[in-house]
Amino acid sequence: MPTPPNRGVGLPASRTGYAFVRLNGQPYGLYLNIEDMDDVALERWFGKFEDPQHLYEGESGADVKPGAEALPPDEGGFEVDEGDEANLADLKALIAAVNSTEGEGWSAAVGPVADLTEMTRIWAVEKYIGHWDGYAGQAGQFQPNNYFLYSDPAGVFQMLPWGADETFERHLAFDGSAGLMFDKCLADLACLALYRQELAAVGKAIAALDLGSLANQTAAVIRPWEEADPRLEHPDLVEDAVTETTDFIAERQGELAAWLGPEDEEEDEGPVASAPSPPGPGQAEDKGEPAGSAPGLHIERMGALPHAILTHLDLAAAGSIQQVARFRTSAGSLEACSTQASASEAKSITLHCQLDERVRRRLQRRWLRLEVSTTFTPSQGDPESVTRHVLFRRATRPD
């Protein structure tokens, strides 16, 4: 089935339709007709395409890592679909910016060469529709995959979707590890806030599209053509696919609301100070303990991602910060995640402690209560520690 959410939320994406094919007069079946992403499509979206613009195609693990601009496509590099193949200055600038830093300040470094509002929106759509084989779907040997990088005349990049056939099946974690830019975005407080904002906007826009009705209407339109296809051996598979798609659509809105939590549902109220609503499946629950503090360290909030611990804290001086989360078993205490950061001056920072795969598997079977120790070592002085407890509810379905 076509996947209209990209265009429905204002993202540039190919138009789609259906074609019934006959070969030498004999019926050969129903096929999806997808608009190529080329200079014609780009001019329809952005105006005249001319130098120094580019369209780069990313497939089979191609990502904005150092040296990728010099690699062939089958070795993790980018294919130049449109634009000058000899002048890759725009791609080199993007790769340099993406890899120049991480954590706080990453979005400020990347912003001049990438439209992060557009990119976080496409990542939000990919996560929402379960596009595991795209840029933000998942980490893997052949991911990221199925995306384009388009640069405008000023060298500012947008990301365009492609290959969205593996969708509306997998309930991807909204913060699950994926392409390099996605992971670095979630580790930067400003970019993470932008991603959450775009997820909320995407959720509302997709709800307004009424995709469940669209799926059923589309199935009704193409059913006579399916029945006319002599090569279709199992027509019941089509009906099963429609049912699975509509079930996914019906469930996804609630899953997003549970992940975002009450703070993102109250757009004009600012930070939520009262006790949060009960979390959804797989979401962390802060146990309501008072905010931790030490002379040089103050934890403002410890939150609530399905597979990670997000901590907003203030440091009173320059130094290093380390966070370790553990849980108890009959064999003793085991580590669930760890992360660290440093600061050259007093500042507010955000820690993103990603739970390891072993802990995620445990969450498929049971709840876990994690003890989270955050230690600040100032440049001058003794280490200071604060300990909090976070309860992760049992996840109801795997990634």
The domain ranges of the chain are: 5-207, 284-392
Q: Are 317 and 346 in contact (CB under 8 A)?
A: yes
Q: State how beta strands 332-343 and 79-82 pair.
A: unpaired
Class at the top of the CATH hierarchy for domain 284-392: mainly beta
Sign of the Cα torsion 265, 284, 383, 340 reads: negative
**339 vs 351: CA distance, rounded Å:** 7
pLDDT for the residue 55: 95
Burial of 58-97, coded b for 16+ CB within 10 Å and e otherwise, reads: bbebbbbbeebbeeeeeebbbebbbbeeeebebbebbbeb
Residue 209 has what pLDDT?
85
pLDDT at residue 133 in the model: 94
| Radius of gyration, alpha carbons of the chain | 23
N-to-C CA span, the chain: 23
Dihedral angle over CA of 172, 173, 177, 178, nearest 10: 30
C-alpha distances out from residue 327 to 322, 358, 369, Å: 17, 12, 6
Segment 6-48, tens digit of pLDDT: 666 778 888 888 999 999 988 888 888 999 988 888 888 888 8
Amino acid identity, position 393: R
Euclidean distance between CA atoms 307 and 72, whole angstroms = 35
Low-confidence residues of the chain: pLDDT under 70: 1-8, 235, 262-294, 303-304, 306, 330-331, 365-366, 393-399
Q: What is the pLDDT of residue 235?
A: 67
Nearest to 11 by CA among 85, 122, 105, 93: 122
pLDDT at 295: 79
Give residues with Cβ within 8 angstroms of 191, minimum separation 6: 106, 107, 116, 120, 184, 185
Give me the sign of the Cα torsion angle 83, 88, 93, 96.
Answer: positive
121 vs 143: CA distance, rounded Å = 19
Strands 54-58 and 79-82: antiparallel
